[in-house]
Amino acid sequence: MATPLLVGLAVAGAAYAGRYSIQAWNAFKARPAASAFRKFYPGGFQPQMTRREAALILGVRGSSAMDKIKEAHRRVMLANHPDAGGSRYLASKISEAKDMNMRKKSNNGSAF
Q: What's the whole-model pTM score? A: 0.56
For the segment 11-31, the average pLDDT, to the nearest whole number, is: 94
Average pLDDT over residues 33-46: 65
Quickly state the pLDDT bin for 34 (edges 50, 70, 90): low
Query: In the prediction, which pLDDT does 41 show?
Result: 60
Clarify whether residues 55 and 90 are in a common domain.
Answer: yes
Residue 13: alpha-carbon gap to chain centroid: 40
Q: Is the pLDDT of residue 60 over 80?
A: yes
In whole angstroms, what is the distance from residue 19 CA to residue 26 CA?
11
Q: For position 112, what pLDDT does the model report?
A: 47
Statement to judge: residues 58 and 26 lie in one domain: no
Cα of first residue to Cα of last residue in the chain, in angstroms, is: 99
- What's the angle, vertex CA 94, arms to CA 91 and CA 96, rounded to 5? 110
Angstrom distances, CA of residue 84 to CA of 6, 43, 81: 62, 20, 5
Judgement on whether residues 64 and 93 belong to the same structural domain of the protein: yes
Residues 55 and 27 in one domain: no
The total of structural domains in the chain comes to 2
**Mean pLDDT, range 44-54, rounded to an integer:** 85
User: Do residues 63 and 92 both lie within one domain?
Assistant: yes
Specify whether 59 is located in the same domain as 22.
no
**Do the domain assignments include residue 70?**
yes
Instruction: Name the residue range of residue 69's domain.
Output: 51-106
Its sign, for the CA torsion 92, 96, 99, 105, is negative
Q: Does residue 55 or residue 43 have the better pLDDT?
A: 55
Q: Does residue 90 sit within a domain?
A: yes
Residue 62 is predicted with a pLDDT of 80
Decide if 37 is inside a domain. no
Q: How far apart are CA 64 and CA 71, in angstroms?
A: 11
From CA 98, how far away is CA 58, in angstroms rounded?
7
CB-CB contact of 90 with 81 (8 Å): no
Kindly state whether residue 46 falls inside one of the protein's structural domains. Answer: no
